[in-house]
Structure 1
Amino acid sequence: MDFNQLILTEDEDIRVKRAHAVSIEIESYMGHGPLEVMEFGCKTGLISLNLKNKISEGLLVDSSAENIKELEQKLRDRHLSHLQTYTGDILESDIDRQFDVIYSSMVMHHIKDFKAVIKKLVSYLKNNGKLIIVDLLPDSGEFHRHHLEFDGHHGFTINEMVAALKEAGLKEVTGRKFYSSYKPIENKNHPYSLFSVIGMK
């Protein structure tokens, strides 16, 4: 999937509203801040900008250069020097830092080998650091119907993601459904729901 092509719709109102709900959910897990955090698959930064006051130092990671370009302009406009960016494939990264919290939203279902990515993210956690995953509950395929090149997962069960975090070595792993909404598809509103899962290193 070409994430450079998604940038034009990234800040649409429906996504802004969803990002607000996701930000509240992630913040509920983060604990006392400010914290050193990484956002994996940050897109144009909607979530981390919502959480900026909980962050002492943040690294916002995305594989799309266009997303990062848009995000960097937002950071300049807001004079937010405590948030930095990283462009590239996380599996090929060699980031010389560790984090209190790493989170991602609506990213893992795009990744075929999501378990390898989770293990890589866990390697960047401090001891007792937290990994928080927000993603799509099982979907018929309608959610990505217009993305003909989509070759990811049509959502996950909470148990699937809990098992993946445990397999990566995390403890105290729990999950819950927290959000339901509709996505307009060909003049119809397609229902979907999101879950969150958290584990500790």
Structure 2
Amino acid sequence: MNFDKVARVWDDELRIERSKIIAKEIKLNLLGKENSVAMEFGAGTGLISFNLCNEFGNITLIDNSEEMIKVVREKVKDIDVNNIKSCCYDLTENSLDEHYDVIYSSMALHHIVDINKITSKFYNMLNSQGRLCIVDLNEEYGSFHKNEVEFDGHNGFSQKWMKEMLEANGFTKIKSYTFYNGKKGIEDNAIEYSLFIMIADKE
């Protein structure tokens, strides 16, 4: 998917409502990490973070789509939020010399080919006692992206596989569960899918 082309129409009713549910689930798992410094990876237009801006001292939104980040910056200006900053940056190819107390990502990792590489970067970017929150698709058989011919990511993830990946990169106290069931598409052609949240700590 060319995210630059869809940035201006990204915030449809379904995504807006789903983002509220996702943000609420992330909030439930902060467990004392409130008012800390956070980063959202693959932030898109910021739907998740704008629902969480009161939970953190500062949030950095990172996305490799220039148009998505332009939308974020317009929103920041329009609603006068002073604790959100944004950065158009490809973290999969480059490193960022910044550190955070919380890193979270929603519906972004299944677009990343090398999960081991990006989770290793997350670990290195977290402060001691930091927390990683991942929200993504449960493993499925390719139906979610069946109409996107250029999609070369993952068809969701096995929670067991993701847990083992995070453990291999040093994360501890890992827990996960499915919290959302939804449909993509219209009526008879709608595709059912579910989302999990995975929480992992850096000691």
* Superposition deviation, residue 151 in structure 1: 0.6
Contact 2:8 2:71 in 1 (8 A): no
Contact 2:144 2:184 in 1 (8 A): yes
Structure 1 stretches of at least 4 aligned residues deviating more than 6 Å after TM superposition? none
- RMSD between aligned residues: 1.4
Structure 2 matches for 1:132-143, cutoff 5 A? 132-143=133-144
Q: Which amino acid aligns with 2:122?
A: L
1:88 maps to which residue? 89
Structure 2 matches for 1:13-162, cutoff 5 A? 13-32=13-32, 33-162=34-163
Change (3 A) 1:195 1:57: same
* Superposition deviation, residue 80 in structure 1: 1.2
| Mapped partners of 2:161, 2:126: distance in 1 | 21
Aligned length: 201
Which secondary structure does the structure 2 equivalent of 1:54 belong to?
coil
Q: List gaps (5 residues or longer) in structure 2.
A: none
Contact 2:69 2:88 in 1 (8 A): yes
Change (3 A) 1:146 1:111: same
Query: Which is richer in helix?
Result: 1
User: Aligned residues: percent identity?
Assistant: 36
Which secondary structure does the structure 2 equivalent of 1:34 belong to?
coil
Change (3 A) 1:93 1:57: farther
TM-score normalised by length of structure 2: 0.94
| Mapped partners of 2:13, 2:62: distance in 1 | 23
Q: Which amino acid aligns with 2:193?
A: Y
Contact 2:110 2:157 in 1 (8 A): yes
| Mapped partners of 2:186, 2:169: distance in 1 | 36
Q: Which amino acid aligns with 1:85?
A: S
* Superposition deviation, residue 55 in structure 1: 1.3
* Superposition deviation, residue 8 in structure 1: 3.6
In the alignment, structure 1 residue 171 sits paired with structure 2 residue 169: no
| Mapped partners of 1:132, 1:179: distance in 2 | 15
Which secondary structure does the structure 1 equivalent of 2:139 belong to?
coil
* Superposition deviation, residue 81 in structure 1: 2.1
TM-score normalised by length of structure 1: 0.95
Q: List gaps (5 residues or longer) in structure 1.
A: none
